[in-house]
Amino acid sequence: MHKPQAFFIESNQGQGQRFCIYHPAQGSARGRVLHLHPFAEEMNKSRRMAALQARQLAAAGFAVLQLDLFGCGDSAGDFGDAGWQDWIADLHQAKSWLDTQCGRNTPLWLWGHRVGCLLASELARQIDDETCNFLFWQPPANGRVLLQQFLRLKLAGSLMDGNGAAAMEILKAQMAAGEVVEIAGYGLSPALASGLEKSTLLPPSGKSGRAIFLEMTSQEGGDVSPALATAAQRWQDAGLQVEAQKVQGPSFWQTSEIEDAPALLQASLNALLLEPANA
């Protein structure tokens, strides 16, 4: 069995090194998977689940590359210096590395979690010469909602005092003036906030491929949320083969303790192993 390989690559943007973990495919290669991690503290809470899934996929024949984006994890730079386009550039470079390592004869999967889903969506719209498939964990409809949730961490006290709206406007004014604001221990640059706020979960136009939408729930059964159903329908209307599913388990990216979601791991593996209907 091939072991995961941890290494650094030099950024094409001249911003230092990016930390990567590559999980070679075991046996006959089924596909290439590029992992796109979530945002800020959610990334740290999700590291274990991402590692478990990457190893499981590699054992099933998928080559998986995990990369810490600029200013995140063990990569160079401070979070407060990162912009949205810096991250998109990192992902283009990561995909090129994966292509060089594995060739392009197997399907490409973009595996996003939360903000990573929005990054995957934008990356795919910029890839003109290859069909992308998508594995989405808890995809948001857009980045504006996530940005609001993140900003509210800064404003928790003001919200309790009933001054939340005014405090939010002050915070936005600071960013509009080009200031980096600190939120929950993370600097947030105007370039990152602006890119996140404008990001949307839009399908690539004129593409085929598969898109797997997985949504966590604490209770067994039931339909996916209306928001997820709407997003999935938009992708299906764009011509992709879409599957949307609720999976029982904890919201591990938000829990105070590190938690596992075994059902999500199995649902993700099952989805990638499933042959497309038109194969």
d(CA 253, CA 273): 25
d(CA 40, CA 56): 25
Q: What pLDDT score was predicted for residue 208? A: 86
d(CA 183, CA 264): 30
For 144, phi then psi, to 5°, come to -60, -40
Q: What pLDDT score was predicted for residue 157? A: 58
Q: What pLDDT score was predicted for residue 276? A: 63
Q: Whole-prediction pTM value?
A: 0.94
Question: How many of the other CB atoms lie within 10 Å of CB of 186?
Answer: 20
Running along the chain, 279 residues long, what does each successive block of 10 average in pLDDT? 92 95 94 97 96 98 98 96 97 97 94 98 94 97 92 74 75 87 92 95 90 94 92 96 96 93 98 73
Q: What pLDDT score was predicted for residue 231? A: 96
